[in-house]
Structure 1
């Protein structure tokens, strides 16, 4: 595992550049030159074999691969920093084990975890992913999050966490090449779908009062975060819960051609283990505060402007 690590100085430079969306500001933070940051990022891109940034005259923006890499790297660096701070101060690090589905982990939880860790350096979140119904006899956790109340173990009491809706999204280039004047224009495109959300297109089409053709081109993926990556890459149109859109709309990687056309989804619920410590409630309170902040930060209309 250690032998497979990328050059860590390059990872640190990449994380700073990704956070600021600027090589110059990353250089200021790291007290190095702009060219040094650029060399580190280029070295990392060569090591990984992918392009992490799209270079522009006055700004460098993350590619989809760069965004996905940053979401994981930022969490890992925060964990390293917290571990070092705990050793230096002699504090005992407490752990909270959070059990979530993969797409919720990648699209909602992991991008927000560095903020939690900055607020609570003594609490170390441990994220495990599972698609199984919540059951402590099968796997240990402190907090579990799932959509809906079905199939929860009897010793867990699901509590409402987050309301959700589904909307249509696509890459800007796809919309520019084939105009979306009405929901019926959907039939001109390939539909992107996830294995765990097979009924979404039928439900949305019924809600939009259109009929999907039997010969409609469809691309299927294992998880929703792969569906969204395919949408960013322009492979087709996708349906996405608004809770999992992250910064894709704000950054312009995706747009919603019909932002007002939304389909209500089953809520997210959370459960707490009977033997969970008080830190589990700290984590839950933080989640609710982030959900409220997201409402303030996000454009309520999800407009194209």
Structure 2
């Protein structure tokens, strides 16, 4: 009888965590959350019936069983990748078009595309950015990603739920080292960064935090959210931005959230497949599903 195989996503998460000896660094490598890595490893341990890591405060290390498993798994994953590349190197180019808003493209899609390309080396994604709704797109697309289920999707497009999201306060570590923010009123000492594409987020956040009359030291405005994130990375001030756009910067320690308990719920992301979307777009849709935190 063919042996039952463990889930490949869980094995990839384990291998990354074993290589780095860190769930946080594994999460940054795979562009998922620390919790997603932890869940995948736990599921793998339950599947195998053994503990793979010893967990300590802010540190993990491989058990003897984990070392044994990693010694076998790492070359096996490399062999799978090499086998896929050898088959696809000489294959004709297979491409598809992704229609996405600029900030989500810069801060979410593009940083994660190396993982997609590594998994599907024969497929060449084409990223087209647009601020208009998918039903107003100026050129055809195979996959579109937008916030909201009922905001300009063509009736012919099959729309699926994607990332849940929320906005939170972030800033460079050096910024909070000099001016700490232990409670919402502490933001009054900071410059607040905001985007014309989401002009009302700060007011909504202040009301939710119980500080509707909060006045900052100053404000800086930008056209798009990815400029706001870059300004925060450069230490220009505090930004209120979707977690989806800064999760990898937070995992890497480039940005900190001083008020993690005060978060602004945002409309969920959806992705849509155009009618007749080919197998390349279908592969991308499956890959998108694997990026969701619940799936790791």
Normalising to structure 1: TM-score of the pair? Answer: 0.65
| Cα distance, 1:184–1:137 mapped onto 2, change above 3 Å | closer
Partner of 1:128: 128
Q: Secondary structure at the match of 2:268?
A: strand
Partner of 1:217: 218
Shift of 1:115: 1.1
1:118 and 2:95 are equivalent in the alignment? no
Q: Contact conserved, 1:107 with 1:246, CA < 8 A, in 2?
A: no
For residues 36-115 of structure 1, the aligned pairs below 5 Å read: 89-115=89-115
- Residue by residue, what CA displacement relative to the aligned partner does 1:159-186 show, whole Å, maximum 9, x if unpaired? 2111001111011121121121210111
Shift of 1:210: 0.4
Tell me how far apart the structure 2 counterparts of residues 236 and 248 of structure 1 sit (CA, whole Å). 16
**Aligned positions, number:** 212
Shift of 1:195: 1.2
- Residue by residue, what CA displacement relative to the aligned partner does 1:62-121 show, whole Å, maximum 9, x if unpaired? xxxxxxxxxxxxxxxxxxxxxxx7999431121111000111111111111111111111
Q: Secondary structure at the match of 1:158?
A: strand
What runs of 5+ residues in structure 1 fail to find an aligned partner?
A: 1-19, 21-84, 297-305
Partner of 2:203: 202
RMSD: 2.3
For residues 152-301 of structure 1, the aligned pairs below 5 Å read: 152-213=153-214, 217-292=218-293, 296=296
Q: Contact conserved, 2:194 with 2:220, CA < 8 A, in 1?
A: yes
Q: Contact conserved, 1:166 with 1:241, CA < 8 A, in 2?
A: yes
What runs of 5+ residues in structure 2 fail to find an aligned partner?
A: 1-19, 21-84
* Higher-RCO chain (CA-CA 8 Å, sequence separation at least 6): 2
Q: Contact conserved, 1:191 with 1:238, CA < 8 A, in 2?
A: yes
Tell me how far apart the structure 1 counterparts of residues 100 and 137 of structure 2 sit (CA, whole Å). 16
Tell me how far apart the structure 1 counterparts of residues 159 and 89 of structure 2 sit (CA, whole Å). 37
Partner of 2:148: 148
Q: Contact conserved, 1:187 with 1:212, CA < 8 A, in 2?
A: no
Q: Contact conserved, 1:169 with 1:254, CA < 8 A, in 2?
A: yes
Q: Contact conserved, 1:191 with 1:219, CA < 8 A, in 2?
A: yes
Shift of 1:158: 2.5
- Residue by residue, what CA displacement relative to the aligned partner does 1:132-170 show, whole Å, maximum 9, x if unpaired? 100276321000000113122333243211100111101
Tell me how far apart the structure 2 counterparts of residues 161 and 210 of structure 1 sit (CA, whole Å). 32
Tell me how far apart the structure 2 counterparts of residues 137 and 145 of structure 1 sit (CA, whole Å). 12
Tell me how far apart the structure 2 counterparts of residues 196 and 235 of structure 1 sit (CA, whole Å). 19
Normalising to structure 2: TM-score of the pair? Answer: 0.66
